[in-house]
Structure 1
Amino acid sequence: MTAYIAAFGLVRQVGVEGTHSYGAGVTVHLQAAGMRVVEIIRPNRQARRMRGKSDPIDAYEAAKAVLAGPDHPEPKRLDGVVEALRYVHAARRSAIKARAATRVQIKSLLVTAPEQIRARYRNHTVITLIPGLARTRPALEEDLLSRTVLTSLKSLARRYQHLSAEAAVLDVELEQLVTQANPALHQVKGIGTVTAAQLLITAGENADRLKSEASFAALCGTNPIPASSGKTTRHRLNRGGDRHANSALHQIAVARITCDQRTREYIARKRSEGKNTKEILRCLKRAIAREVFTLITNPPPAADYRALRPKRQQLGLLQVHAAVGLGVSTAKISLAERGQVHDAVFLTAYENWLNSPT
């Protein structure tokens, strides 16, 4: 195929539809051959219905789209840490989804189970219900229905435990890959391992293909969409873009609304301007997308937590002294010294407190 393309002369660029799905292999092969590949958006369905569809027609449409103008997105690189992150993230999401479905199924079966079984597990929470069902041993003297129900519930409970163990292993691997790919992003307040992984996957290994923070916001579906009519001038939420990335930004926004004073002040300022809750959330997600774009394209050095405990012990201080000095709990100091607090602002404040003369 490469030889056939090159036989017609100098190849400036090649348009491929679905560079990150069915066209991934072709994209990698052409890029390895030194050709510039651009991503072609799927043709308009209305035009496709009018002209019909076949491989030659699609090829001509892709070629015409490339010739129409240079404004075509560059495909993501399919190698490196971020691509490995995508596979682990997909496996974890599948495990979490299957575990949630298993829990719902257990609850549904218990609702219609015989009364003696319902009474046995009525006051159990999920924490105690799953291990209890997994350990159950149906007695032979019980009736056929009870034995069958308990056996089925035991199977589902063990499946739930297996999926939980699988998700825990994937969580560890995911955190290692995120830390390797962009440790500074992982240390921003409100951005957890899963949300950081999703944002890195959306940006891709070659994040420099994103020309501006506005393009990243549009990719995440957080750019403002005009929704004005008559004398009303307003914008609404964007329902396009990568919905997984949009969900990650939403989770970050909700976390910051709960625990970040700067975000609360931002919301109060927007509300004083007359914006409603949906408009404030859109503005907040847009601001977070701007911050994330900077962290991905120009990541700052990550805060190092490994020197905190030796420095504190060298000064002869206890964790309770640091907790009182910083106005936090002793548990947070312990977690910070073990690298389990992903908040660069707090880690820097702790380091500055240890280095202060007082």
Structure 2
Amino acid sequence: MTSAATEDTAGRDVFAGVDSHADTIHVAAVSDNGGHLADAEFPTTAAGYAAALAFLNAHGHVLAIGVEGTTSYGTGFTREARAHGHRVVEVNRPDRAEHRRIGKSDPIDAYAAALSGRASSAPKDDTVAGIRALHNAARSAVKARTAALNQIAQILITAPETIRAKYGQLTAKERTDALARVRPAGDAVHTAVLTALKSLARRVKELTTEHEALTKTLDTEATAHNPGLRAAYGVGPDTAAQLLVTAGGNPERMRTEAAFAALCGAAPVPASSGRTNRHRLSRGGDRAANAALYRIALCRMSSDRRTRDYIVRQTEAGRTKKEIIRLLKRAIARDVFRCLTTTVAVPGIADLRPLRQAKNITLTAVAGHFEVWPATISTLERGIRRDDDLANAYREWLTAA
């Protein structure tokens, strides 16, 4: 390259794009007016990432790098580019209509990502990577356990009558415990069926133990990362982890709570026609996050006094159950966004149990006074359930007792 070309390159602003795969990344550079400059392929190794960044810097001053799959195959390059001070933006995969129109290849996708580099969607950072890994492992354990339980039920349908009569009427836990202890005997058919059932039952018990251990670790990590979110009413370890994974460790990338609600598929979608003026449930967004909001809504609908009063008011106003759940999910998304983006103080409850025990008051007496179940007071004292109004009233009652 001549000195004149070098000077021209040094003063040029460029955008870059990356099409990521398991073994390779294809990078492309375009000028600030959209002209294609160059593209090349590199391996997904530390040396490959360094070479890719050097290749892009050789074509001018890189304003932004659009990466497809920043939390998947492009994670390694995203981490390396950020470490070198580059601005990385997240690029959505091109839709099928676009692929049919212009074709599909790594260079085409890389140039498309580069042209998207002018976008402003920041990728997620790595602070929730551990929570994501634990959450995926816990979910896979649940799926495998469910599959094993279903297999046990299916085998019992066609099992010999003596086996079906003995184990078919038991509850799932009783059946699993009994089959895990069985000693296969009898003819060849009985022995084979009981051996299969015993293997599946032991698998269920092992997966249950594994899931409990993973959930405990996940609860510790989620609580340490965002105690306000974990302490919110109806938010358990699984839902807290899913919402943290959806938002990322840098939720400031979502400018408003409306954007977060849309990301979770909880934003109201107009469904009006003619004289009908209404909104419907969203079918878009992150469905796992939407399911987490749904589980929180169900929990609050069953046991939260304010939510139950709200349901009564909305039902009297003529809204259906689906419409009420949509409204609840939207309100919960607002609460979750506040927990994600601000520091929410979690009131202390460590003094409740010692204060009750010092005054020799039983859980039953407390529950009878507040007209709740003893388990509600127990979970409140242990920090499993958060109810600030009840905790404050409980503390005032204990102090006055």
Alignment TM-score > 0.5, same fold? yes
Displacement of 1:125 in angstroms is: 1.2
Q: What is the CA RMSD across the aligned residues, in angstroms?
A: 1.8
Label 1:290 to 1:324 Cα distance change in 2 as closer, same or farther (>3 A).
same
**1:7-46 alignment runs, 5 A limit:** 7-46=58-97
The answer on whether the counterparts of 1:186 and 1:342 sit within 8 Å (CA) in structure 2 is no
> SS state of the match for residue 28, structure 1?
helix
The residue that corresponds to 1:59 in the other structure is 110
The residue that corresponds to 1:190 in the other structure is 234
In the alignment, the residues of structure 1 paired with residue 346 and residue 382 of structure 2 have an alpha-carbon distance, to the nearest angstrom, of 15
The answer on whether the counterparts of 2:233 and 2:385 sit within 8 Å (CA) in structure 1 is no
In the alignment, the residues of structure 2 paired with residue 26 and residue 219 of structure 1 have an alpha-carbon distance, to the nearest angstrom, of 25
TM-score (norm 1): 0.92
> SS state of the match for residue 275, structure 1?
coil
The residue that corresponds to 2:349 in the other structure is 305
The residue that corresponds to 2:251 in the other structure is 207
In the alignment, the residues of structure 2 paired with residue 167 and residue 312 of structure 1 have an alpha-carbon distance, to the nearest angstrom, of 34
The residue that corresponds to 1:146 in the other structure is 190
Q: Do residues 275 (structure 1) and 319 (structure 2) align?
A: yes
In the alignment, the residues of structure 2 paired with residue 193 and residue 349 of structure 1 have an alpha-carbon distance, to the nearest angstrom, of 26
**1:1-358 alignment runs, 5 A limit:** 1-67=52-118, 70=119, 72-78=120-126, 80=127, 82-139=128-185, 142-355=186-399, 357-358=400-401
In the alignment, the residues of structure 2 paired with residue 242 and residue 345 of structure 1 have an alpha-carbon distance, to the nearest angstrom, of 32
TM-score (norm 2): 0.83
Label 1:263 to 1:331 Cα distance change in 2 as closer, same or farther (>3 A).
closer
In the alignment, the residues of structure 1 paired with residue 330 and residue 361 of structure 2 have an alpha-carbon distance, to the nearest angstrom, of 42
The answer on whether the counterparts of 2:229 and 2:235 sit within 8 Å (CA) in structure 1 is yes
Is the radius of gyration larger for structure 1 or structure 2? 2
In the alignment, the residues of structure 2 paired with residue 324 and residue 231 of structure 1 have an alpha-carbon distance, to the nearest angstrom, of 51
In the alignment, the residues of structure 2 paired with residue 288 and residue 114 of structure 1 have an alpha-carbon distance, to the nearest angstrom, of 50
In the alignment, the residues of structure 1 paired with residue 379 and residue 273 of structure 2 have an alpha-carbon distance, to the nearest angstrom, of 52
The answer on whether the counterparts of 1:303 and 1:348 sit within 8 Å (CA) in structure 2 is no
Letter in 2 for 1:17: E
Displacement of 1:165 in angstroms is: 0.6
How many residue pairs are counted as aligned between the two chains?
350
> SS state of the match for residue 284, structure 2?
coil
> SS state of the match for residue 88, structure 1?
helix
Displacement of 1:316 in angstroms is: 4.8
In the alignment, the residues of structure 2 paired with residue 61 and residue 197 of structure 1 have an alpha-carbon distance, to the nearest angstrom, of 33
Any stretches of 5+ residues in structure 2 without a counterpart? Answer: 1-51
Letter in 2 for 1:354: L
In the alignment, the residues of structure 1 paired with residue 153 and residue 235 of structure 2 have an alpha-carbon distance, to the nearest angstrom, of 32
Letter in 1 for 2:168: R
Segment of structure 1 superposing worse, 197-206 or 116-125: 116-125
